[in-house]
Amino acid sequence: MDRREFLLYGGALLPETLLAKPAGGIKPKIRAITAFVVLERSRYQELVQAALQMLRQAKRAIEAAGYDVESVRIVTQPFPEYLRDISRQEALRFCREYDEIAVKESFDPNLGPAMLRDGDNPTQTELLAEILSTTKTLEGTVIIGGADGVYWNCVAAAAKLVKFVEDHSPGSAGNFNFAATAMLEPYAPFYPGAYHTGTGRRFAIGLESANVVDRVFAETRGDAPRAVQRLTEALSEHATAVEKLAFQIERETAWTYMGIDPTPAPLKEVSIGAAIEKFTGEKFGSSGTMTAAAVITKAVQSVPVKRTGYAGLMVPILEDSLLAQRWSERTYNVDSLLAYSAVCGTGLDTVPLSGDISAQNIQRILGDVATLACKWKKPLSARLLPVKGKKPGDRTEFDDPFLLNAVIQPVG
Q: Please determine, for residue 118, whether its predicted confidence score (pLDDT) is greater than 90.
A: yes
Q: Please name every residue paired with 180 in a beta bridge, in sequence order, or none if there are none.
A: 142, 382
Q: Please determine, for residue 165, whether its predicted confidence score (pLDDT) is greater than 50.
A: yes
* Helical pair 272-280 and 321-329, crossing angle rounded to 10 deg: 70
pLDDT given for residue 26 in this prediction: 85
Q: Report which secondary-structure segment, H or E, holds 14.
A: strand 12-15
The torsion angle over the Cα atoms of residues 149, 150, 154 and 156, rounded to 10 degrees, is -160
pLDDT given for residue 125 in this prediction: 98
Q: How many residues does the chain have?
A: 412
Confidence of residue 7 (pLDDT cuts 50, 70, 90): very low
Contacts of 249 (CB under 8 A, 6+ apart): 54, 57, 58, 61, 203, 255, 257
340-394 pLDDT per residue, tens? 999 887 799 999 999 999 999 999 999 999 999 999 999 999 999 999 999 999 9
pLDDT given for residue 346 in this prediction: 78
Would you give the distance in Å from CA 18 to the centre of its chain?
26
75-108 pLDDT per residue, tens? 999 999 999 999 999 999 999 999 999 999 999 9
Q: Please determine, for residue 2, whether its predicted confidence score (pLDDT) is greater than 80.
A: no
C-beta atoms surrounding 161 within 10 Å? 29
Confidence of residue 33 (pLDDT cuts 50, 70, 90): very high
CA 206, CA 308: separation in Å to the nearest integer?
9
170-181 pLDDT per residue, tens? 999 999 999 999
CA 327, CA 123: separation in Å to the nearest integer?
35
Q: Please determine, for residue 1, whether its predicted confidence score (pLDDT) is greater than 90.
A: no
Q: Helix, strand, or coil here: 353?
A: strand
CA 356, CA 172: separation in Å to the nearest integer?
12
Q: Report which secondary-structure segment, H or E, holds 357.
A: none
List Cα–Cα distances, 11 to 14, 57, 60, 61, 297, in angstroms: 10, 10, 10, 10, 38
CA 293, CA 296: separation in Å to the nearest integer?
5
Which fold would CATH assign to domain 203-387?
Anaerobic Ribonucleotide-triphosphate Reductase Large Chain (3.20.70)
Q: List the chain domain ranges.
A: 203-387
Q: Please determine, for residue 64, whether its predicted confidence score (pLDDT) is greater than 60.
A: yes
Beta-strand pair 202-208/347-354: unpaired
pLDDT given for residue 6 in this prediction: 28
251-304 pLDDT per residue, tens? 999 999 999 999 999 999 999 999 999 999 999 999 999 999 999 999 999 999
Are the C-beta atoms of residues 212 and 235 closer than 8 Å to each other? yes
Q: Radius of gyration over alpha carbons of the chain, in Å? A: 21
